[in-house]
A and B are shown apart, each in its own frame.
Chain A
């Protein structure tokens, strides 16, 4: 049986970030990475660009074989972990093989959530989470005349844009009354919605799909309002859920995701979790929440790796902050922080430009912009450090980018 000091399950951002943190502290300890994808490590975030053709599938690998070799890391691809025996410290692979580990990181990410729509299981539909999904969607683009996208989150909106650019007539069906509700308020969403409408994408907001069925060569989607949409391509982008099925009987505590403490440790000794699969402390209220975004996966992976390798400089996880960037039809939307913590101290929106700043007392809690320049990384740090903006409050509200850069350069240059 293969033995390894560190076993990492998953090979995307959280896993790679942990791997680098481990190697920073422990140059020699044996490390093995196992991933269910039969591919070099890639990011789910790049997949919309594989769909559009902007990224060639063979050029999206985050690391290659030479990198694993140089870092003395064993890389096993195309093998899912099917069970974990935490007492014997063994992981079972889909190949039937077992690996004995000293320390285990679970970075298995998330998988598409399929809404309980009658008939969905019986029709042909696409999801977008793996490289294979993306390659399949890309191949389907030229033949697509009528597309229906279920869900107006980031995946759905990216796909809708790509389908529209490829010449398809696209309809997005979303239960929420607006697009990207997790990151933007009604006014900001309206700018995004207008851009899609201008490109001929039909948005059915506040609408629910009541059934799906096959009608000849197309899929017929019926909404609860009675509308019917015929699609030669149906994409289900109704969110994702952590992949935890292999942990049954392992003793690892799971709520919506794997519950972790401030060093990404699970309830079981010797097992850590990070990234989209983990349910970690939120920054604002401390409640454990899913925050499945790339920058948090990088942060959590780093903390987990440092903790696993016994790096003395590891700092406790400050808590997840919702943040994202979204580009659509050449426009830029950035969302850093919470819409709901504190009071709105500045808000302006017109057809092309949007800026909202939320503060609690003299601390920044959120900043949101469309086609407005500010540095999201600097803002994130200002939120995490709870920097008192009292002495520069007016200047910050008037010119957040410049004022924040001054604070950054003085405070953590």
Chain B
């Protein structure tokens, strides 16, 4: 038994239209009377709340049933109700703290959500985006069965997002891989190993910061000549990709080498003591952009590295975040496939608890806020379809909400926050322009005239 699909409710998107309840009641009883809906949306002040079966992992309705009429189904995780055993005692409704199983007068017994056999009609009826039938958990089940290609006990910082990225991506890419890890946190935490032993279960090498993509090119071509199909993969930091490693990366991309280059962007040289890189955002504290009497953090904006890669006409370029794993896996699959045809570049945002100064348990939350505030954007691009947003950018979280989560922005003046806000807006407008095919507007936006 593992994790199961669930119906997820996003109250911020719900406007109380009741389409879900009407659809459910109709499907279950043949009439649209919402009182018979297994999903109940409740108006609560100005917002909407939800009462329905959560298909609990340790269900108290089941424990409270004296007649063995309720049971958690090991195959799909749904709590099944057996009408031939139910005695109508209602003790399940005492056990449920979610209003998920209730006596229904019309039916004459308790009723509950059965997820419509894995195809919930309420979710299909919701055109506001407030209900989702999440498959995320299945991704973890699936990936959990794949082999972790790094050894246990890597020496990452507590709460390291990069370790999560390394392990997840390599599980998916699989063992037929030669891995390059240029200087940075990834080899630093032990993936290239110590004393002649590697920290990976695939061939791994440690190029210079400057030559990752060119060494990988050579390795890939050598295997091709031998007639062996292997994945040539780089797991590099933003410094190794966007600064000193950029020349070889740009060259390999331009030549269309069949490589998957993954940039793990933690906005600086975190392994060597938190120096700034060209991916460090404006205003951020780093050890080389200190804050003091005169220093106010970084005074330049970050380079938009993934967009630069789009301009190389790569087979596939995408951005991703560990707060949105479903999206990350989807892009990883496309990137692996694209790397068989040409150059694939995946840019994964990776908040750094040590270098960004936030509590180690907050990592995924920070990653989520960065995306929700449009500080970073999730999109993908290929030469045929152009750039597509993979997550909406409307109704963003306020930038201040994101910045205040991070110690590295603690010193920011109002003016600096204003600059960051403007940069984010410009970036959103620019990427949206690309996504909507408004290429002619690009020049204007870049010139600040939009």
List residues of chain A with CB under 8 Å of any chain B CB: 13, 16-17, 20, 24, 42-46, 49, 54-55, 59-62, 294-295, 298, 302, 323-325, 327, 330, 332, 334, 336, 373, 375-378, 380-381, 401-402, 404-406, 408-410, 412-413
Contact of B98 among A16, A376, A377 (CB under 8 A): A377
- The answer to whether the Cβ of B95 comes within 8 Å of any Cβ in the partner chain is yes
Task: Tell me if A409 and B67 are in contact (CB < 8 A).
Answer: no
Shortest CB–CB separation between residue B58 and chain A, in angstroms? 7
* Contact call A406/B49, Cβ cutoff below 8 A: yes
Q: How extensive is the interface on chain B, given as a class?
A: 35 or more
Q: B56-96 interface mask toward A, CB cutoff 8 Å, 1 = contact, 0 = none?
A: 00101001101110000000000000001101111101111
Partner of B99, one of A295, A324, A378, A410: A378
Docked CA distance A408–B49 (Å): 9
Chain A residues with Cβ under 8 A from B97's Cβ?
377-378, 380-381, 408, 412
Docked pose: A381 CA to B49 CA in angstroms: 17
Residues of A within 8 A of B95 (CB): 295, 298, 377
For B448, what are the chain A residues with a Cβ–Cβ distance below 8 Å? Answer: none
Q: Is the CB of B94 within 8 A of A59?
A: no
Binding site for A on B (CB under 8 A): 9, 11, 40, 42-45, 49-51, 58, 60, 63-64, 66-68, 84-85, 87-91, 93-99, 102-103, 105, 108
A45 touches which of B58, B84, B89, B99 (Cβ 8 Å) = B89
Contact for B66 among A20, A45, A324, CB less than 8 A: A45
In Å, the complex CA distance between A229 and B175 comes to 84
* A62 surroundings in chain B (CB, below 8 A): 66, 68
- The number of A-B residue pairs with CB atoms under 8 Å apart is 121
Nearest CB of chain B from residue A161's CB, rounded to whole Å = 12
Q: Which residues of A have CB within 8 Å of B99?
A: 375, 377-378, 401, 404-405, 408
Pairs across A and B, CB under 8 Å, 28 listed: A13-B64, A17-B63, A42-B66, A43-B66, A44-B66, A46-B87, A49-B87, A55-B67, A55-B87, A59-B85, A60-B68, A62-B68, A294-B64, A295-B91, A295-B94, A324-B94, A325-B94, A332-B103, A375-B99, A376-B93, A377-B96, A378-B51, A378-B98, A409-B42, A410-B44, A410-B49, A412-B97, A413-B49
How many angstroms from the CA of A406 to the CA of B99 in the assembled complex?
Answer: 10
Residues in B with CB closer than 8 Å to A405 are 40, 42, 49, 51, 99
A16 touching B67 by the CB < 8 A rule? no
- 11 new A-B contacts, CB < 8 A, other than A377-B95, A413-B49, are A46-B66, A55-B67, A295-B91, A298-B60, A325-B93, A327-B90, A373-B103, A375-B102, A377-B98, A408-B98, A409-B42
Do A375 and B58 touch across chains, with their CB atoms under 8 A apart? no
Find out whether the CB atom of B90 lies under 8 angstroms from the CB atom of A334: yes
> Roughly how many angstroms separate A101 CA and B90 CA in the complex, as a whole number?
37
Residues of chain A within 8 A of B66, CB atoms compared: 13, 42-46, 60, 62, 294
Q: Cβ of A46 and Cβ of B94 under 8 Å apart?
A: no
For the complex, give the distance between the alpha carbons of A20 and B58 in Å: 9
Which residues of A lie under 8 Å from residue B96 when comparing CB positions? Answer: 375, 377-378
In the complex, which residue of chain A has the Cβ closest to the Cβ of B35? A373
Return chain B residues, CB-CB under 8 Å to A401. Answer: 99
Q: How far is A59 from B49 in the complex, measured between Cα atoms in Å?
A: 38
Complex CA–CA separation, A402 to B34 (angstroms): 14
Kindly provide the distance from the CB of B8 to the nearest chain A CB, expressed in whole angstroms.
11
Nearest-CB residue, chain A, relative to B51: A405
A325–B91 contact, CB under 8 A? yes
Between A13, A24, A323, A378, the greatest number of chain B beta carbons within 10 A of the residue's beta carbon is seen for: A378
| Cα distance, A405 to B108, chains bound together (Å) | 22
In Å, the complex CA distance between A377 and B415 comes to 52
Which chain A residues lie closer than 8 Å to B9 at the CB level? Answer: 413
Q: How far is the CA of A302 from the CA of B63 in the complex (A)?
A: 10
Given A45-B89, A54-B87, A409 and B94 touching (CB < 8 A)? no
Residues on the B chain within 8 Å of A324, using CB = 94
Q: Is the CB of A408 within 8 A of B51?
A: yes
B84, B103, B108 — most chain A CB neighbours (10 Å): B103
Which residues on A sit within 8 Å (CB–CB) of B103? 332, 373
Chain A proximity of B24: nearest CB distance (Å)? 16
Contact A376 B94 (CB under 8 A): yes
> Closest CB of chain B to A215's CB: distance in Å?
36
Select from chain B the residue with minimum beta-carbon distance to A371. Answer: B105
**Residues in A whose Cβ lies below 8 Å from that of B90:** 325, 327, 332, 334, 376
Q: Is the CB of B89 within 8 A of A325?
A: yes
Residues in A neighbouring B94, C-beta threshold 8 A: 295, 323-325, 336, 376-377, 380
Q: Give chain B nearest CB distance to A324 CB in angstroms.
A: 8
- A413 touching B87, Cβ below 8 Å: no
A360 → B minimal CB distance (Å): 21
A55 B85 Cβ-Cβ under 8 A:
yes
Q: Which of A61, A298, A334, A409 is in CB contact (< 8 Å) with B64?
A: A298
Least Cβ–Cβ distance between B367 and chain A, in angstroms: 22
A376: which B residues are within 8 A, CB to CB? 90, 93-94
Most buried by A among B49, B96, B105: B49
Whole-angstrom distance from the CB of B157 to the nearest CB of chain A?
25
The residue on A at minimum CB distance from B92 is: A377
Q: If A295-B95, A334-B90 touch, does A409 touch B68 (CB 8 Å cutoff)?
A: no
| Chain B residues near A336 (CB-CB < 8 A) | 94
Which A-chain residue is minimally distant from B93 (CB atoms)?
A: A376
A380 to B40, CA, bound (A): 20
Which of chain A's residues have a CB closer than 8 A to the CB of B105? 373
**Complex Cα–Cα for A384 and B137 (A):** 32
Q: Which 3 A-B pairs have the closest CB atoms?
A: A409-B49, A43-B66, A406-B44
Within the complex, what minimum Cβ distance (angstroms) separates A10 from chain B?
A: 15
Tell me the nearest residue of chain A to B61, going by C-beta.
A377
Q: Which of A45, A54, A377, A409 contacts B93 (CB 8 A)?
A: A377
Q: Are B64 and A295 in contact (CB under 8 A)?
A: yes
Contacts of A327 in B (CB 8 A): 88-90
Interface centre among A60, A298, A375 (most CB of B within 10 A): A375
Cα(A72)–Cα(B99), bound, Å: 34
Shortest beta-carbon distance from A405 to chain B in Å: 4
Enumerate chain B residues within 8 angstroms of A323, measured Cβ to Cβ: 94
Contacting residues, chain A, for B63 (C-beta < 8 A):
13, 16-17, 20, 298, 302
Residues of B within 8 A of A377 (CB): 60, 93-99
Q: How far is the CA of A323 from the CA of B105 in the complex (A)?
A: 21
Contacts of A44 in B (CB 8 A): 66
Least Cβ distance of A409 to chain B in Å?
A: 3
Q: Which of B44, B67, B93, B108 meets A330, CB within 8 Å?
A: B108
Check B68–A61 contact: CB distance below 8 A.
Answer: yes
Contacts of A373 in B (CB 8 A): 102-103, 105
Interface centre among A46, A401, A409 (most CB of B within 10 A): A409
